[in-house]
Amino acid sequence: MSRVAVVPGSFDPITLGHLDVITRTAAVFGEVHVVVVHNPSKNAMIPISRRVSLIEQAIADAVSNRANIVVRSWSMGLLVDYCTDVGANVIVKGIRGSADVDYETPMAIVNRHLGKIETMFMMPNPEHAHVSSSLVRQVASLGGDVSPYVPPVVREFLQGDMDTTIGTINA
């Protein structure tokens, strides 16, 4: 029986740290679902469908054997419901530091209680541990170089389409 893992996140946008966690998860589990979730406490910059597309392109560019990686979105219901639907028994969360542990631990406990889904925390490689999507959005919005923090397809999107995206969101 193949073990199925879910790597959820808002991925607004996907960073090299996210990609590192996804790649290493795919090396451990038989099937990995990267799930773009709607976080009601965050104001997203990039529409969910575009985030899914950027993740798919980033994975295609970075992962040579990606047959076991599926990218989806989930905006209605509990993440444990998605996990149950696809037969996943593990949620993998990237953790940059103690603040992430403090934030993620209660959710991990509730997910185990609600759906008997275990959560595994995975540290990104140290060169990516300081990078967050919100930091990338801020640097990009101020015209800074985000190439050390995101896959090339995301850098191109942020440099080329960000003004249009922000204009659409603010309209």
Question: What pTM was computed for the model?
Answer: 0.89
Fold of 4-170: Rossmann fold (3.40.50)
Per DSSP, 126 falls in state G
Query: Which residues is 8 bridged to in the sheet?
Result: 35
Work out the number of other CB atoms within 10 angstroms of the CB of residue 135.
13
- Active site annotation includes 42: yes
Q: Are 147 and 116 within 8 A, CB to CB?
A: no
Question: Choosing from 18, 33, 137, 155, which is the catalytic residue?
Answer: 18
- State whether the Cα torsion 10-62-128-28 is positive or negative: positive
Q: Is 141 annotated as a binding residue?
A: no
Which of 56, 29, 41, 20 has its CA nearest to residue 118? 29
Q: What is the pLDDT along the chain (171 residues), one digit of tens a residue?
A: 469 999 999 999 999 999 999 999 999 999 999 999 987 777 889 999 999 999 999 999 987 777 899 999 998 889 999 999 999 999 999 999 899 999 999 999 999 999 999 999 999 898 988 999 999 999 999 999 999 999 999 999 998 865 554 444 444
Domain definitions of the chain by residue range: 4-170
- Active site annotation includes 137: no
